[in-house]
Structure 1
Amino acid sequence: MKTTDLIPIGQLAARTGVSVSAIRFYEDKGLIRAMRNAGGQRRFLRSDVRRLSFVMIAQQLGFTVAEIGELLSGLPRERTPTKADWSKISAQFRERLDTQIERLELMRDRLDVCIGCGCLSLSNCALYNPEDRAARLGPGPRYLIERNGAAKAAEI
C-alpha cells in the first residue's frame, strides 16, 4: 500500500462531512479502521470515504450501528473494496430496504382504517376487525407488524 492511499482523519472528515469525533466513534465500533503513521497519527484508506458515506445513508434509513457493521463486515479490510465487493453487500442492503418499503406501504394503506390494534373503538373496526380477531395474533398493531396479518386475521 502506498502512503498516497492513506488520508488523515481531518481530510476524511472534510470529504465526508462527518465530524472527527464521529469518525473516532465509528472506528471504535469497527466500521472503519485507522492505521498509524510513524508519529502515531491516524491514517485512513481513501476507500473509507465510501464506507462512511454508506454508514451515513444506512443510518438515515434506520439501520443501527450494529446492523451497519454486520453489512460492512462483508467488505475486505486489507484492500480497497471493488465493485463486486460492494455488490455483495448491496444485495443484503436491498433486501432490507425492500422489506422496509413493503412495511411503509402497508402502513400508508392501512393507517386510516384498521391496523389490527384490537381497539374496537372505531365504528369501522367492526368491519375490519370483527370480534377483535387481531387480538388472537398478539398485542399491538398486528396488521402492520405482520406482513400477512390481515390475511391471518381473516382465517381466524
Structure 2
Amino acid sequence: MDKLAEREEPLTVGAVAKRCGVKVSTLHFYESKGLIKSSRNSGNQRRYNKQVLRRVSLIKAAQKMGITLTEIKEQLDTLNGKTAPSQQDWQRLSTHWAKSLNERIQRMERLRDYLSGCIGCGCLSMKACPLYNDNDKLATEGDGAILIDRAISRGPLT
C-alpha cells in the first residue's frame, strides 16, 4: 500500500454503497465471496480503502456483461493482492472475458436457430427429428437435454 493510501480516511460500508450505487448487503455479499476486503475499526465496524470503489465498479461492469461472480473472482485473484485493478489489469481481464462472451454468444445463436426450426417445429416426425431419442439410447451419456446441449456447444444436432 502506498503512503497516500495509508493517509486516506477509510470509507464506511454505507459510503461505499452510496458511491458505488449498490446496497450495503451487496458489499457484504461481495466480501463473503472474497471479491472485496474490508478492515475493522475499534468498534468492529467495516472500513474500506478508497481503492475498493474501483474494484466494485469492475465487478458491476463485469456482471452487466454477463460474467458470473465465480469468473470475476477467478480473474480478480490474478491481481496478486492488488486492491484496485489498474488500466492494464482491466485490459487483460476484459480481453479474457470478451473471449468467453463471444463463445457464449455463439452458443446462444445456435440455440436461437434451433428454437424455431427444430424444437418448435411441431412436425412430430420421429424419423426426421434430430432430437428423437429412440428407446432412450442417450441415457448412457447422462441426464438432461443431451442433444440440445450438444447442439449449442458444438454445432448441428445431426
Amino acid corresponding to residue 140 of structure 1 in structure 2:
A
Q: How many residues align?
A: 148
Note if 1:148 corresponds to 2:149.
no
Unaligned runs of 5+ in 1: none
| Pairs within 5 Å for 1:1-156 | 1-4=5-8, 6-115=10-119, 122-123=123-124, 126-127=127-128, 129=130, 138=141, 140=145, 142-146=147-151, 147-150=153-156, 153-154=157-158
Structure 1 distance, partners of 2:106, 2:65, is 14
Deviations 1:29-55 (Å, cap 9, x if unpaired)?
A: 110001234554322232322322333
Q: RMSD between aligned alpha carbons?
A: 3.3
CA contact (8 A) 2:110 2:155 kept: no
Deviations 1:68-93 (Å, cap 9, x if unpaired)?
A: 21122122434532111222222221
Residue 60 of structure 1, CA deviation: 4.5
Residue 102 of structure 1, CA deviation: 0.9
Residue 125 of structure 1, CA deviation: 6.5
Structure 1 distance, partners of 2:124, 2:83, is 61
Structure 1 distance, partners of 2:85, 2:101, is 22
Determine what percentage of the aligned residue pairs are the same residue.
Answer: 32
Structure 1 distance, partners of 2:132, 2:28, is 54
Structure 1 distance, partners of 2:9, 2:99, is 32
Unaligned runs of 5+ in 2: none
The TM-score, its normalising length taken from structure 2, stands at 0.71
Amino acid corresponding to residue 25 of structure 1 in structure 2:
F
Q: Which has the higher contact order (CA 8 A, sep 6+)?
A: 2
Structure 2 distance, partners of 1:18, 1:140, is 37
Structure 1 distance, partners of 2:17, 2:102, is 31
